[in-house]
Structure formats: structure tokens, C-alpha cells
Amino acid sequence: MSAPRKIRRWFFCAVVCLSLLGGMSSLPAVGQYVIPRTSPKLTGTPATFDLDRDRQSLVSLDGLWRFHPGDDPHWSEPSFDDSSWPLLHSDKPWSVQGYPAMGGFAWYRFAIHVPATHPALSLDLAPIMTSYEIFVDGHIAAAVGHMPPNIFPTASWDYRTVPLSAASSQGDNREQTIHVAIRVWHSSIWASYIDGGPAFGDSLVGDSELIAAEQKHHEGRHRMVFIDVFSYSIAASIIGITIFGLYLFRPKEREYLWFAIQLMATSLDGALIVSKELFAFPPIPVFDLLDGMLVACAQIAFLLFLSKVLKARRGLIWQAVTAMAALSSIFGVLYWPGWLSAPAGALVQVFLLLPSSIWMLLTLAAGAIRRDTNARLLLLPVLLVQGLYVADNITIALNQLGLEADPRPFETPFITSPYTVHPYVLAELLFLLAMLAFLIRRFTIARRREERWEGALEAARQVQHLLLPEAIPQVPGFSIDCIYRPADAVGGDFFQILPCGDGDLLIVVGDVAGKGLPAAMMVSMIVGAIRTEAAHTTDPSELASTLNHRMTGRSANELGTGFTTCLCAHLSASGRLVLANAGHLPPYRNGREMAMPGALPLGMLGGITYELVTAQLQPSDRLTFVSDGVVEAQSKSGELLGFDRTQDLSTRSAAEIAEIANRFGQVDDITVVTIDFLGIPASVGSLQEKEAMAR
């Protein structure tokens, strides 16, 4: 393109832009004042800025400080001659300046020249490891941590503000020199792997107000470094409490409990780390012990969780790795009594946790190969969390032993904006996300299963409703009342009241051990058998033996229930009562329990003959049949209704007995059948007279 064409194009663009700007400037913006085109002229002297006169009163203390190992109280005095002391850089630990692995006491000294006129001054000291005291002109001005004989050093990464009171006089017009001495105690336990003295540079001296502002900046920056750990701890604790609530609703599903414990332990450990880093609390030995215990607790809880959800066998290997994880926390603090060095103790702790990590990953990998959806969902997040933890701690321990191992890739935040994110926190977040997806999926599957189960229970309830007597039969000479209250949607109690020829009654009352659908299915089978056999015999002993033969071997093998108790009674129109009992509660006659021989329940042993018991009822006699749900009604304090109270209640109506047992505390199915003998009906009596005359 030629130059004239370029010039024309630029000129055209400039004209368009100026036109647009002119048009826009002619319209006032909404909510703003219109600036007049003719502004009044401003008078006065323009501002000037002097880099010498207006500079901020801050001076860096990075440079050469006097240094000397050992301890002498005279070294804090301003008149002490330290000219023979060696010089060390103030922005590096003494461990890298000719004093490797040195523990014990050491002193730093430097002087500050103050001009004749100055504001109130303060020091802003960068972190110094591990405990130290600051003397200003021979007087102690501040202290961090504890000095011997206290054995707990302080690992504080906080900047420390120290007022220079000797230089705070505003009326003193003379130049001054302030002598600062720093007495450092570096624990010998740590000296082999934690550098002594200043951790890094950036110490300042200057105007107290500016130093206070700098201190706020340091605190904000330090807190931002651990905001991801703090945020994760809050999120993990909230989710952990929620998962524990699921466990309270589903106490049989222990995986919710184990996962809640794992999350709460991880959350508490994160809060502990934040507290140590920001507030230097708790003391290092206490932190090491609590940190090791929480890590072991989280590891064991996750072992229990995985073994439950993946249906892994808790054999000798599982028990061994769990025991090793439980013992790991002890070795993290054995360096305090001097039984192990700190790096050795840390390595032992990590290697005791390593087998449990390997077991988790191998179990998940095996499940993923079997195409287990749960294992595939959890394999990668668990690999990240366990792998980062093991690699980070092994690298730190090797570094402490003096080997070439750099832990910074695992410790340094790789995201710094808008706030920091450490690698292990991101791994924990991915793990938490995978676990939430797993739990949502598991809860959805469980809910669908419950809906199907509820449908099956409803169908069983309807079938059971059809099998149990819908209406009380009306038989001349008898007043019959009955009530049935299952403890659940379906129950294991059953009763049949079958009128026979010539005005007789066949009564069968029983109880299947167990509850729910299996018990209801067994009840259906028994009721069907009773109705079938009642067409062939009304003899109670023969009926009980036939039922026992049909049920032998079926109760436990096919339906998962236990034994079944049963009481068969034949009551003739003349009041003659014949009973056969298969382990059920004896009936009550006029408020007294009838004596009956003991016998095994149905289905426990084949070939049993049940003994008959006979009795003659008199007009107005009452028979009461109950199930064990009445006797075993239990109050909130654990007290049973019991046999004595049940016997006292046996003269009442069936509805009253059931209601009293229910209010007392129903825990099992309740069945009550009452039969009042009114006397021989006239039709039956005339028939008996005709038979007697014929004989």
C-alpha cells in the first residue's frame, strides 16, 4: 500500500474517532454532573515533590550483623565491644554461613544511627528460628518462644514489631545510636534440619506508623498463604457433619460413619496446621503428636470405609496394615526424648502408613479391573491424596537427613491468584468431589432399592390382609373378639378362627420369629397350610404335627426366619376345649394362665407328637389368647409389661389389652383373641337329647 493511501486511511479514522468523542462528550452520563466547557482558572503555586525531604522513614536492615555463638548476659549491653565478632548476612541463616547444624545459643548485634529529629521508631524483624529475645540498649524489648530450661521451642513464621523506646523522644535534638542485640536459642533437636537464625531478609526499621502498616501487610500475606487449607477445613467439617447425620438416619450403613470420621479428622488436622502456622499454637511437640494421631485416625477410618464399600475381606493383611497405621503417630514424637532423630522418626512414621496406602490402591485397582464403578470412581483421587502425602513426607525426611531431596514441588502453592492453592489441598478437593459423587450415587441406589422394598412390603401387606380374618365369624354359643397390630408394615403374627360343623370352632394362634417381608412370607405359607389341613382334621395335635412336618428345614433355610410358635385349640359347641401347644404362650381362662406341657416350636425337629390338654368350659368363661408382643411390650426405661400384668389384663376386651400394650411400648407384633363361652345353644342341646334318646 502506498504512503498517501496510508495517510488518507489514518486521517479518516482520526476524523471518525474525534467525531464520536465529540458527540459523546456532548451528552451527560446518567447520574453524573456535566462539566462546563469553560472552567474557571485555578490560581496558586503548583505542588512539588522532593524525593529527599518527602521520602518515607523506612530503612532496610538487610546487611552484615555481628554474630557470636554461645551465651553471655553482657552481650546485650550497648557498651560491649563486639568488633572482634565475625560478620554474617542478616538475610540468611547461620547454618549456611559456616555454622552447619549448630544448636544452642547465639547472639546477633547491630547499631542504628538516628538523626536529630525523627518520629517514633520501631523494628520490623523477619522470622528468626526458633526462640529469641530482643534487647534495645541493654533492656529486653520483646521475646518470642521459650528459653531453656523450657524444652519447647517455637517455630514462628511471623514478623515481629519491636518499639525502640530509647529513640522515641521527640524533644531530643541530638543524633543517637541505638544498639540492638538478639539472643537466639536454637533447639539442638532441630538443628540438623532446621536452619538457625533469620529465616530470610526483609527486616526494617523506621516510623512506627509505617512499621505497623507493614506488619498488617505481613499478616495479610501470611494468612492468604493458608486460606486454601482453612477453606478446605471448613468445607470438610460441614460435609463431615452432614455425612454423620446420614449415619444417624442409617445406623446399619457404617460406611457413612467411617467417611464422616475421615473427613472430620482431616478437617481438624487442617485447622491444626493453620493454627500452628498463623498463631504458633499448639507447641511443636503437641502439634506433632496431634497431627500424627489425626492422620492415623483418618487413614484407619478410610481403611474401614473402603473395606465396607468394596466388600474387601478384613484378613490378616488388613489387620496388620491397620495396626501399623495406628502405631505411626507414636514415632513422630520420639525425637523429643532423644530415642530417634527427627528425620528417622518422620521416616518411620511415613513407612508405617505406607502399607495402608498400598493396600488401598491395590484394592481399588483390583475393583477397577473387575469393573466396579465405585472403585473406578475413587482410584485416581485416592492415588493423588495418598501419593502426594507419602512423597511429600519422604522428601522432607530425606531433606532433613541431608540428602538431595527438594520438597518444594509438593509444598509450594502452584496457584497464587486470586488466592493460594497448595497441591495437597487440590488433591483433597478432588478426592472430596469424588467421594460426594460416590455417596450421591450410593444414596440414589439405596433409595431406589428402598422404593422397591416398600413396594414389596405393600404387596405382602395386602396379601397378609387377605389371609388374616377380615370379619369375626359369628358362631352360636360364643362371643369372639380379636385384634391384630403389626409392629411394621407387615408382621409375623398369625391367627385363624375357623367354624367347623355342628357349631364347633378351630382356633390357631402363632408367631413367626423375625419381622418384615421374610416373616410375612412365612405367615402366608402357614395360613395356607392351616386352611388346607383344617379341611381334613380338627384335631389340634394332628394339625400341629402336620404343620411341623411341612415347616421342618424351611424356616431358616428358605426364608431366613427362625422358629415358629403355634397354639391349636378345638372348642366344641358344648364347651369342651382341646389344646395342643408348639412353644406358644398358654391361653388364659378367666384371668388365670392354663397349665400346659412344654414343647418345641414348629420347624425345629421333625416327627414330634404334641400332647393334648383338655378342659370343660362353663357358661360365661372367657379364653384369652395373646402373642408375645403383649408380654414383651417395653417402656422407655426398659421395663417389660411382663406375665403378671398380662394375666391381670386377660379379663379385658381384646381392644383394651392391645391398646394398653401399645401405650406401654410396642416393640413386636400384638395379637389378642378372646372367646366367651355363652353356653350350649338350644339347637345343639335338642340335637344332643335326640342322640341320647336314640342310644
Element (H, E) at 223: helix 208-225
Give the pLDDT score at 54: 54
Cβ contacts of 356 within 8 Å, gap of 6 or more: 299, 300, 303, 321, 322, 324, 325
Condensed to tens digits (0 to 9), the pLDDT of residues 479-518 reads 999 998 888 777 788 889 998 878 899 999 999 887 777 7
Q: Which of 114-118, 281-285, 458-462, 548-552 has the highest mean pLDDT?
A: 548-552
| pLDDT reading at 459 higher than 70 | no
Give the pLDDT score at 641: 93
Region 536-559: mean pLDDT is 79
* % of the chain exceeding 90 in pLDDT: 38
Task: Indicate the average pLDDT of the chain.
Answer: 82
Q: Other CB atoms closer than 10 Å to residue 454's CB: what's the count?
A: 11
Of 12-16, 414-418, 539-543, the least confident: 12-16
**Contact by Cβ (8 Å): 185, 134:** no
Sign, CA torsion 585/589/593/599: negative
Give the pLDDT score at 257: 94
Rounded-to-integer distance, Cα 90 and Cα 593, Å: 97
Rounded-to-integer distance, Cα 40 and Cα 284, Å: 68
Region 621-630: mean pLDDT is 94
Region 410-430: mean pLDDT is 79
| pLDDT reading at 40 higher than 80 | no
**Contact by Cβ (8 Å): 494, 514:** no
Rounded-to-integer distance, Cα 494 and Cα 53, Å: 103
Rounded-to-integer distance, Cα 690 and Cα 479, Å: 26
| pLDDT reading at 448 higher than 70 | yes
- State how far the alpha carbon of 412 is from the alpha carbons of 343, 387, 421, 424, in Å: 21, 16, 9, 10
Give the pLDDT score at 28: 34
Rounded-to-integer distance, Cα 203 and Cα 123, Å: 8
Determine the Cα angle at 626 with ends 547 and 677, to 5°: 95
Q: Other CB atoms closer than 10 Å to residue 436's CB: what's the count?
A: 13
Give the pLDDT score at 401: 67
Give the pLDDT score at 47: 56
Rounded-to-integer distance, Cα 10 and Cα 23, Å: 20
Q: What number of residues does the chain have?
A: 695
Identify which has the larger pLDDT, 396 or 282: 282
| pLDDT reading at 557 higher than 60 | no
Q: Which three cell numbers stand for residue 45?
A: 503555586
Determine the Cα angle at 318 with ends 313 and 323, to 5°: 150
Give the pLDDT score at 277: 80
Strand order in the sheet with 139-144: 87-89, 64-69, 104-114, 176-186, 131-136, 139-144
Region 552-575: mean pLDDT is 76
Task: Give the 3-state secondary structure of residue 409.
Answer: helix
Of 7-11, 50-54, 248-252, 317-321, the least confident: 7-11
Q: Give alpha helix (H) positions in 413-570.
A: 423-467, 516-534, 540-551
Give the pLDDT score at 21: 34
